[in-house]
Chains A and B, each alone.
Chain A
Amino acid sequence: MNKIIKKTLIAAAVATTMVAGSAQAEDITVVSWGGAYTKSQVEAYHKPWNGYTGNTVISEDYNGGLAEIKAQVEAGNVTWNLVDVELSDAVRGCDEGILEVMDHSVLPDGANGVPAAEDFLPGALAECAVGNIVWSTVFIHDESKIQGVDGLKDFFDLGKFPGKRGLRKGAKPNLELALMADGVEPADVYEVLSTEAGIDRAFAKLDTIKDSTVWWESGAQPPQLLADGEVVMTTAYNGRVFNAIASEGKPFVINWDGQVWDLDLWVIPKGAPNQEATMDFVKFSTSTKALADQASWIPYGPLRKSSFGLVSSFHSDPSLDMAPHMPTAPANFTRALQNDFEFWADNSDQLNERFNAWLTK
């Protein structure tokens, strides 16, 4: 098996060198989460930017985290120009010096003339990052199989809805969801989680469904698990679910109660080549229009206030208005929690360790 891996690595290395050798100096590699999300970026950012500048964007997929960036930076061989990361990773990567500091003054004003610094939502402009979208973890079910799901507490109610559940393999954001299902208000979740008793309470709630849980790791999995009938309810990223509903006509329902939302941001690995072209792409892709366009491909909320009014309908169905499907739409936002990046920067090592130990017992 090792041999196979080694061979694959060598082949990949050769292929990469060949691609790198043949690429023009101004081409950039942009790395994102794959699937419907990357598709929305290709349509709204990559293709139009290519039209303006003639530079090509090479799109690569990954599963989040800082491992690849860290490995590239420490080896002094950075091949990724720009990466789409979560806020906690943007902050941690910046602290550890593996990301370039971003100059926010070069970002264009909003289409309505508001300066970028005021146009972006709070938190979207971090020291080493420029935000692009709001996304959310929600839970979904198949309306053709079960009806009458009423809020997050039902996700943990095996008596009312027997059958398997799908959860992301990791402590985040399952602990938050467990506490909210246990009656903790979103505003108090991180306060409760900061105590040993609160952590115990969250794990105790997870214990109630542990034996009926299927654990997923990449964002493409949960809609598939639900479609295959492997689970009756699962957590998922709201954009991917919407795509399964709107493009593939799946009878899935998004439950917004207790959603945990987070930001995605662009970061540049330290020492990446072609930074001028990369910054040009960042400016282009986080402009009012590009962010609004992106939202017509997938319901991830743009991080510029000036984009809100410009969000139109689904790209393939003009009758399908996108605004009500955004995580930030008022009707979806009644019981919502923002992921606390500082809490996770402090506690992810410890909580994931406990989570891993809990999982195997």
Chain B
Amino acid sequence: MTTANPSIDQANTLPLKEKLAKTTAIQRRRAFLLTLPLVLFLLISFVFPIGQMLFNSIHNNKVSAVVPDFATAIQQWDGQGLPSEATFEIFVKDLAKAKKVREVGRTVGNMATRINYEMPGSRSLFTKSARKAGKIKQGPYKEALIKIDKKWANPQVWLTLQRASHDISPSFYVAAMDLKYNETGEVVEADELYQIYLDNFIKTLWLAALITFICVLLAYPVAYLLSVLPLRQSNLLMIMVLLPFWTSLLVRTTAWIAILQTEGVINDLLVYFGVIGDDGRIQMIYNQTGTIIAMVHILLPFMILPLYSVMKTIQPTYMRAALSMGSKPFYAYRRVYLPQTIPGLAAGTLLVFILAIGYYITPALVGGQDGLLISNLIAYHIQKSLNWSLGAALGTMLLVVVLLLYWVYNKLIGIDKLKFG
């Protein structure tokens, strides 16, 4: 029986079941405290930044923060012809006010950049007009603004402004999926000359799959050898696998440049032995081939190690039993050995594929013009074009693709079967 106010004496009289429950609860709490640093670390370094990325990809307040009154007023506009004289007046006054602001994220330049994403060439329209907006002292504001620049008579400018006045909008996903808004504000396919992201997503997936496949082909025999060779030889082989693994990624990538470039080791040897002429040197780097070769090399240990750890545990007696009972070697391998290596194979495949899909430095260095992956485009928007929202939208799409693949993978193979070693 439980009481509302338990004392030590009463606790001694509690049934065993409840006592046990209490102690396990305490233990659980202790265990949780032990994991607390990790949980906090994950929250700060993983959950929070990813949440912020998701938020950035749909949130952009560069219009409402710069011309707040106008952002509210333009919502009343029905999108026909041009906005009313009153809306123009609010816009001109907001613009003149905004010109004096120098706070980061709230300048006319910020708004101009935001609109320029959707209406290329309109950036200077805003910065120029803002400089002159203060001189417009009285109406009619519509005519005065159009006198500054006749682009203000173009309804598309106002449609874009109206759309961008919403802080939350899908417009960056529209851009990330090779779509655009047309003159009347409908979502249509972007001009073929400007389409880049979807093709690149497909290429990234295809290259990651290809690299994973090559890794399986190369890693399987090596891992098998590692698991069956006598200790002395297998140790040596293991060191040969691990040594590059411990070497800096940049060093390995640069080494590939030295080996593969047109004036590099391989081409020099081929020319020296007369296989190719001096003017027929093969382009093996700064293209897709270079990306594939370097990435396979760098990701190979991630395939070998899980495979090895699984193969090491497989008893050789099983194969011997199968063979002694008259099975052909290949049949025995397929029915007895291969199924037992599946957990390692699955782990290695997942590891290599997911690493490959988000690879960045190696393609940036050896990818040239057609060996670039989606992460290079994300980096371009974060570092060069400064369109962080578009970068975030692309990053989110990549994350969704990976989660989707993980889900499919889980359905097919079962994530609990994975064995990483």
Which residues of A come within 8 Å of B, CB atoms? 1, 4, 65-67, 70, 73-74, 92, 94-98, 101, 164, 210, 213-215, 228-230, 270, 342, 345-350, 352-354, 356-360
Cα–Cα distance between A189 and B104 once the two chains are bound (Å):
34
In chain B, what residue has the closest Cβ to A214? Answer: B286
Interchain nearest-CB distance for B379 vs A (Å): 10
Contacts of B383 in A (CB 8 A): 65, 67
Contact of B103 among A95, A97, A230, A346 (CB under 8 A): A97
Nearest first, the 4 closest Cβ-Cβ pairs linking A and B are A95-B109, A350-B120, A357-B196, A97-B107
Contact of A270 among B104, B110, B120, B203 (CB under 8 A): B104
Given A230-B263, A352-B385, A97:B116 Cβ within 8 A: no
Determine if B67 is an interface residue (Cβ-Cβ < 8 Å).
Answer: no
Determine if B384 is an interface residue (Cβ-Cβ < 8 Å).
Answer: yes
Interchain nearest-CB distance for A66 vs B (Å): 6
Contacts of A67 in B (CB 8 A): 382-384, 386
In chain A, what residue has the closest Cβ to B108? Answer: A95
Determine if B234 is an interface residue (Cβ-Cβ < 8 Å).
Answer: no
Q: List 18 A-B contacts (CB under 8 A).
A: A4-B249, A67-B384, A92-B109, A95-B107, A95-B112, A96-B107, A97-B101, A97-B106, A228-B261, A229-B263, A346-B121, A347-B120, A349-B117, A353-B196, A356-B380, A360-B199, A360-B200, A360-B370
Interchain nearest-CB distance for A269 vs B (Å): 10
Q: Tell me the residues in window 86-117 of chain B with beta carbons closer than 8 Å to chain A beta carbons.
A: 101-110, 112-113, 116-117
Contact of A349 among B203, B370, B385 (CB under 8 A): B385
Contact check, A98 vs B200: say whether CB atoms are below 8 A apart.
no
Contact check, B370 vs A357: say whether CB atoms are below 8 A apart.
no
Given A228-B263, A349-B387, A357-B194, A94:B361 Cβ within 8 A: no
Contact check, A97 vs B199: say whether CB atoms are below 8 A apart.
no
Determine if B195 is an interface residue (Cβ-Cβ < 8 Å).
Answer: yes
**Max count, chain A CB within 10 A of own CB: residue among B127, B199, B249, B384:** B384
**Max count, chain A CB within 10 A of own CB: residue among B116, B248, B360:** B116
Given A74-B105, A360-B196, A346:B361 Cβ within 8 A: no
Contacts of B117 in A (CB 8 A): 349
Given A67-B386, A352-B385, A345:B377 Cβ within 8 A: no
Given A1-B359, A65-B384, A67-B383, A357:B195 Cβ within 8 A: yes
Given A97-B103, A354-B194, A357-B194, A346:B384 Cβ within 8 A: no
Contact of B369 among A1, A98, A215 (CB under 8 A): A215
Contact of B372 among A101, A210, A228, A360 (CB under 8 A): A360
Interchain nearest-CB distance for A93 vs B (Å): 8
Contact check, A66 vs B286: say whether CB atoms are below 8 A apart.
no
Contact check, A96 vs B194: say whether CB atoms are below 8 A apart.
no
Interchain nearest-CB distance for A173 vs B (Å): 15
Contacts of A349 in B (CB 8 A): 116-117, 120, 385, 387
In chain A, what residue has the closest Cβ to B197? Answer: A357
Cα–Cα distance between A356 and B107 once the two chains are bound (Å):
29
Interchain nearest-CB distance for A5 vs B (Å): 8
Given A65-B384, A349-B385, A97:B105 Cβ within 8 A: yes
Contact check, B107 vs A1: say whether CB atoms are below 8 A apart.
no
Determine if B8 is an interface residue (Cβ-Cβ < 8 Å).
Answer: no
Contact check, A346 vs B355: say whether CB atoms are below 8 A apart.
no
